[in-house]
Structure 1
Amino acid sequence: MSNINATGAYRLTGTAISISELAKNKPGMVVKATDEQIAEIKLHEEQVQARDAVNNRYAEQHPDKVYGQVVVDGKLFATVYDSGVATMPYQIPGLSNEGFGTELTQTRLAEIAKAANGEIIHSSFFPDAGISFRSAPESDLPPVTARSLIDFTRELSWARERSRMEAMEQRVQGQDSPLGETKVK
């Protein structure tokens, strides 16, 4: 076991145990994946990477257009794209999700300007990161047929729980009943 004291947003303080140590100390807590499961996890990762590649190519070919920007004291505060997506340094709670397209974009731009006490501009934009938020239509994306890691985790968790329930049932069958009746073995 080792003691971990890290700084940062995700700080872990206390005793940490490696998976190999956990497997040695508590063998029932760690289960080795089968070769079939490992192959399916690898297939899932490959399929997700293929989808990501298609989405990235699509985003590069169909960039979002800047609809407007909010300027506060001469500095860029937020950029709102024609898709309604907004980029800004601070999160503003309660932005509208009603409507779509230009209606949603105009509403969000006005809400951000009001919250930041800024001015809306529709031309001579400040340089932007050029981020695109569009994704390819689902019909253009390769399918993901393999189960995900979370599906495997659920399967293993259920198998472990079933095993625990069976062990408890076997112990109960070998003991006296809570009603005072003796179980026949």
Structure 2
Amino acid sequence: MNRRTKIAAVAAALLITAGAAGSATASGDGRGAHREAAALTGTAKLYRPAGDDITFSFDAHLAAKDNRNPEAATGTFRFSHYKGDWGGYAVAKVDCLATGGKVAVVTGRIIETDVKEFEGARVGVSVNDLGKHDRLGYSWLTQAPEQGDVPKCQTAPPFEKVKAGTGDFDVLPWLLEYPTE
């Protein structure tokens, strides 16, 4: 292949790549036009100097078609708290997910647990995705399960520190589309 043909081929490849990048950026966030409306994924342990093993994991999603209905979110989240022979876990089915920037609020109904007080309760968790310094909050600190259900998409702010090196939360910001007229 002669030099002129090589230059033309490289230029064409660069133009195609630039065009693809331009259309991905045009969707608003650089993730492409077919992204979901919002998401919260990842796992982390909470910081506890006394040695408690507290873990939260999320797999919560709001489909693009449900962009205006955070109560259509799907997925689960799991949390556990163990110290020595004491502890328990719970799994919740997501019933609401709202995100803004790097902050997410998710609520769900407990579908599996070994803690009697959590059976069937709705609980909420908040996450602030700060890279290596993520934070997390949960409803049962401010409202015990026996007080009744936490309202959908409501919980305490992210007041807890995530243990260094364990946080990998990823919050996909909710991009609401507003009518132009």
Same fold by TM (over 0.5)? Answer: no
Q: Which entry has the higher C-alpha Rg, 1 or 2?
A: 1
Which structure shows the bigger proportion of residues in helix conformation? 1
